[in-house]
Amino acid sequence: MTRPPHLAKEMALFLDFDGTLVELAHTPGAVAVSDQLIPTLQEVQDHLDGALAVVSGRDVRDIDRFLDPLTLPAAGLHGLQRRLTVGGELEAAKVWPGVAELRQDILLSGILTDGVNLEDKGSALCVHYRAAPDREEEVRARVVEMTARFPSLHAIFGNMVVEAKPTAEDKGTAVRRFLETPAFKGRLPVFIGDDVTDEDGIAAVQALGGYGIKVGAQDSAAFFRLPTVKDVHDWLAQANDIVSLENQRLRSQHDAP
């Protein structure tokens, strides 16, 4: 396993949420945010002069609730929804053709039983089977079959979830949009994520001269890896150590005769 370099001030840092900043849970609402995560993210944001964004499959408003009082730049629904600056306006994701019809197909399909449930994101639909892992093959096949009816949509496989979403946006396009804004432009882009859907973000930063960091042991094109969510937290916390050391150095210089 190749561990990543230390967090550096010249980075533009893009973070997935579930499985990267928080441990996965049986349902999206059941995740727990550690006591130190929010202050650590605040320190990282300060250290990077604002070049920190969360890029997730969740709705941005959901991320805000978990990270309150932080309102970081964020992309939700795999890039369909964006807030490009701190305190900026949240761009609402439009509802694409076929989503309403596919939702009805899924509700009537009979697969939403025995631990399989539907998460309706408005512009995308997620069928979770974390509570029924033995049904993975069945659920994946049925959602792919139903989604194929709608040319503007495609199915992607995540960690114990199948998501049907528009083809026009992904985490890679979200990263590229951020890198056009003043806070992120000209920096070394780094993307950290754990899931298949994060590979688009990883590919985007590596094509632009940066690097990806894969969380966990799944196959990935990322140049570096971190084993667990805790390791991600420890890597991010380096910003606190770096800032503290720099402050000590400056104080020593100031106090020197």
Residues designated catalytic: 16
User: Token pair of 68, please?
Assistant: 């309150």
Which residue in 186, 136, 130, 142 sits closest to 12, CA to CA?
186
Using CA atoms, how far apart are residues 143 and 246, in angstroms rounded to an integer? 52
DSSP letters, 236-257, are HHHHHHHHHHHHHHHHHHHH--
Using CA atoms, how far apart are residues 106 and 120, in angstroms rounded to an integer? 11
DSSP letters, 167-230, are SS--HHHHHHHHTTSTTTTTSEEEEEE-SGGGHHHHHHHHHTT-EEEEESSS----SEEESSHH
Residues in the chain: 257
- Residue indicated by tokens 């969740």: 58
Q: Provide the sign of the torsion angle of the four alpha carbons 75, 21, 19, 128, taken in this order.
A: negative
Which residue in 135, 122, 123, 159 sits closest to 26, CA to CA?
159
